[in-house]
Amino acid sequence: MLSDGKMRRFRWWFIFLLLLSPFILLNSNLLTDNLGADPAKVIVQNLGFWAMTSLWLTLAVSPGVKLLGWRWLMSFRRMLGLYTFFYAVLHLLAFATFLVGWRWDILLTELTKRPYIVVGTLALLLLIPLAFTSTKGMQRRLGKHWKKLHILIYPISLLVMLHFVWQIRSDFGQQLIFAILLAILLGYRLYLKRRSS
């Protein structure tokens, strides 16, 4: 049997590496030239997918604690949130570097002509204050305001959903799955709120 401390450390490393593995896999596929004929697009899409998945997992923490009674999950919410930020920043950097080559004229037209890019950028900008106030120190310093600030995660998740849905060409299978999961995650919170009031 593992001691509690060892168990906790094992769990931490396990989840840390699990969420990092898509990034490692992407890099190894890149180095072995296994991303197909348009690696730029694949990288951007893949990073976006994992940003979204991390965000959905972050939102699943408190329902998980309440419904499954896994109190230890709570201590991973910060890590999951920061992974969301990590993948989202890389997603935007990859877009600007690999797809647009930092050509400011194109970046500007993309921002005005591709509405889903505006929505995605807005979501990322809103994530910045959340990432910077994620430390224990900031949590203490902000007190009850911290919770108010971090309510931003709900509008962010809706913006991200819109960012994804707005890119549908013809098949919407993936978007549907993410939308159903988000409806459950947010719906559960609404249900709790209504029951308590």
Partner 1 sequence: MSKRLIRDALNIPSSEITSEVVYKQRRRLMQAALSAAVLPAFTFSSFARGAGYDIPDDLPRYPGPVWLRQKLASAVRNPELSVSDELAPYYHAITHNNFYEFGTDKRDPVRYAQKFKTDPWKVEISGEVARPGHYNLEDILAPHALEDRVYRLRCVEAWSMVIPWLGFPLADLIKRFEPTSKAKYVQFTTILDKKQMSEQRSSFGTIDWPYVEGLRMDEAMNPLTLMAVGMYGNALPPQNGAPLRLVVPWKYGFKSIKSIVRIHFSETMPETSWNITAPGEYGFYANVNPSVDHPRWSQATERRLPATLLNPNIVDTLPFNGYGDQVAHLYKGMDLLKWF
Q: Which is nearer to partner 1, 5 or 36 (CB)?
A: 36
- Pick the piece of the chain touching partner 1 (CB under 8 A) from 15-23, 39-47, 123-131, 179-187: 39-47
Q: Which is nearer to partner 1, 19 or 161 (CB)?
A: 161
Q: Least CB distance from residue 163 to partner 1, whole Å? A: 12
For the range 65-69, what are the long-range contacts, defined as Cβ-Cβ under 8 Å and sequence gap of 24 or more?
Answer: 66/192
List the one residue from 136, 140, 144, 169 that touches partner 1 (CB under 8 A).
Answer: 169
Query: How many beta carbons lie within 10 A of that of residue 54, not counting itself?
Result: 22
Q: Return d(Cα 127, Cα 148) in angstroms, integer.
A: 14
**Contact positions with partner 1 (CB under 8 A) in 79-138:** 97-101, 103, 106, 109-110, 113-116
Q: Least CB distance from residue 109 to partner 1, whole Å? A: 5
Confirm or reject binding of residue 151 to partner 1 (CB under 8 A).
Answer: no
Which residue in 135, 140, 156, 149 sits closest to 84, CA to CA?
A: 156
Tell me which residue has tokens 């430390």.
Answer: 135
Q: Least CB distance from residue 93 to partner 1, whole Å? A: 12
Provide the token pair at 141. Answer: 């310093």
**Contact positions with partner 1 (CB under 8 A) in 42-81:** 43
Q: Which is nearer to partner 1, 99 or 186 (CB)?
A: 99
Q: How many residues bind partner 1 (CB under 8 A)?
A: 33
DSSP secondary structure letter of residue 170: S
Confirm or reject binding of residue 33 to partner 1 (CB under 8 A).
Answer: yes
Q: Which is nearer to partner 1, 35 or 82 (CB)?
A: 35
Q: Return d(Cα 122, Cα 90) in angstroms, integer.
A: 15
Q: Return d(Cα 92, Cα 113) in angstroms, integer.
A: 17
Confirm or reject binding of residue 23 to partner 1 (CB under 8 A).
Answer: no
DSSP secondary structure letter of residue 49: H
What lies within 8 Å, CB to CB, of 30 at 6+ separation is 39, 43
Cβ atoms of residues 23 and 93 within 8 Å: no
List the one residue from 104, 173, 194, 195 that touches partner 1 (CB under 8 A).
Answer: 173
Which residues contact partner 1 (rule: CB under 8 A)? 32-41, 43, 97-101, 103, 106, 109-110, 113-116, 166-173, 176
